[in-house]
Amino acid sequence: MSIIAYLNGKFIPAEEASISPLDRGMVFGDGVYEVIPVFNRKILYLEEHLDRLNQSLQGIRMTLPHTHAEWKSLLTTLVEENNLNHGGEHQWIYLQVTRGFQLVRDHQIPNNLTPTVFAISYPKILTSKEEQAQGIKVIATTDIRWKYCYIKTTARLAYTLMYQEAKDAGVDEAIIINNGYALEGTSSNFFMVRHGVISTPPKGPLLLSGITRDKILALAEKHKIPYRENKISERELLKADEIWITSSIRGIYPVVEFNGEPISNGKAGPFWSKMWDYYAEDITNLSLSVSN
């Protein structure tokens, strides 16, 4: 199975895509990215992802190399090409913009480089609600990141090291703790349910403003489920009735164990079940709508 990629204006088999080792993305981790879900061949929440891409680019002093309409056309072609190629109705797009090739390594940010634009879309196998209800286990980990975590930068070594801690501990995700407060997972946001109220940490520089997170808050509002955005300590998390992690790749996943302690009696909780249905309904409706 060959996967089609987009690189600087061309659609090519992924194995043929190559860039210079002197791209600043390689040398300095000087770039940003997005991961965007595709459901029934429909790109989900594209505007929101492009707005966040723009915010990340501004954060590293770059400008968007394409208009939203250009991105839409480019990514739609990518999804269709991959659908023809491997029949993937459901996919996930990885899209990356780095500052580009620079012959002589220089710490100063140059203003005359051509950005390297790369995108690829992989087939995605959907997991059923029953499978997801098995839940995942998580641990807490100490924050080792920089202070601009709202930028979705390709420089992700701190995240992969923290994730590896989780894997080494035999669990599926780590929740990042900074000064006693839980911020987010290594590639997800998290929610807590306690006494019938959903809560998640407020947006700020120390976490990524997840598109899935925002959708869940909007769904809570729409379905009149009480919710709050407030700081959550590691201690409070241990007392949670439910914990979920959320991302474009995983959707909404229940956490059944935190730091070795069962959460929600080690089972997916009723709030998770309700929200899972609301989210599934939202993405199904979006995929059926003519415009996106």
Longest distance between any two alpha carbons in the chain, whole Å: 58
Decide if residue 184 touches ligand PDD (CB under 6 A).
yes
Sign of the C-alpha dihedral computed for residues 183, 215, 94 and 116 taken in this order? negative
Specify the residue, 56 or 246, whose C-beta has the smaller distance to ligand PDD. 246
Is residue 167 flagged as an active site residue?
no
- Binding segment toward ligand PDD, per CB under 6 A, in 68-76, 104-112, 119-127, 246-254: 246-254
Decide if residue 135 touches ligand PDD (CB under 6 A).
no
197-200 and 227-229: which strand pairing?
parallel
Decide if residue 210 touches ligand PDD (CB under 6 A).
yes
Catalytic residue from among 42, 137, 152, 215 = 152
DSSP character at residue 113: P
Q: Of 101, 95, 96, 103, give the one whose Cα is nearest residue 114.
A: 101
Decide if residue 251 touches ligand PDD (CB under 6 A).
no
With H, G, I as helix, E, B as strand and everything else as coil, classify residue 289.
coil
Minimum distance of ligand PDD from residue 45's CB (angstroms): 8
Specify the residue, 149 or 256, whose C-beta has the smaller distance to ligand PDD. 149
With H, G, I as helix, E, B as strand and everything else as coil, classify residue 214.
helix
- Binding segment toward ligand PDD, per CB under 6 A, in 104-112, 205-213, 224-232, 276-284: 205-213
Helices (H) and strands (E) in the chain, counts: 8, 16
Minimum distance of ligand PDD from residue 251's CB (angstroms): 9
Among 82, 248, 257, 264, binds ligand PDD (CB under 6 A): 248
Are 201 and 230 contacting, i.e. CB atoms less than 8 angstroms apart?
A: yes
Q: Of 178, 162, 152, give the one whose Cα is nearest residue 233.
A: 178
Give how many residues touch ligand PDD by CB under 6 A.
Answer: 14
Among 208, 232, 255, 263, binds ligand PDD (CB under 6 A): 208
Q: Convert residues 31-70 into a mask of x (bound to ligand PDD by CB under 6 A) and - (unbound).
A: ----x-----------------------------------
Decide if residue 189 touches ligand PDD (CB under 6 A).
yes
- Binding segment toward ligand PDD, per CB under 6 A, in 82-90, 118-126, 197-205, 247-255: 247-255
Helix ranges, 143-269 (H):
157-168, 211-222, 234-238
Among 247, 251, 254, 264, binds ligand PDD (CB under 6 A): 247
Helix ranges, the chain (H):
24-28, 46-59, 68-86, 129-132, 157-168, 211-222, 234-238, 270-288
Among 32, 211, 243, 275, binds ligand PDD (CB under 6 A): 211
Are 35 and 94 contacting, i.e. CB atoms less than 8 angstroms apart?
A: yes
Phi, psi of 283 (to 5 degrees): -75, -30
Contacting positions for ligand PDD (CB under 6 A): 35, 184, 187-189, 208, 210-213, 246-249
Q: Which residues are catalytic?
A: 152
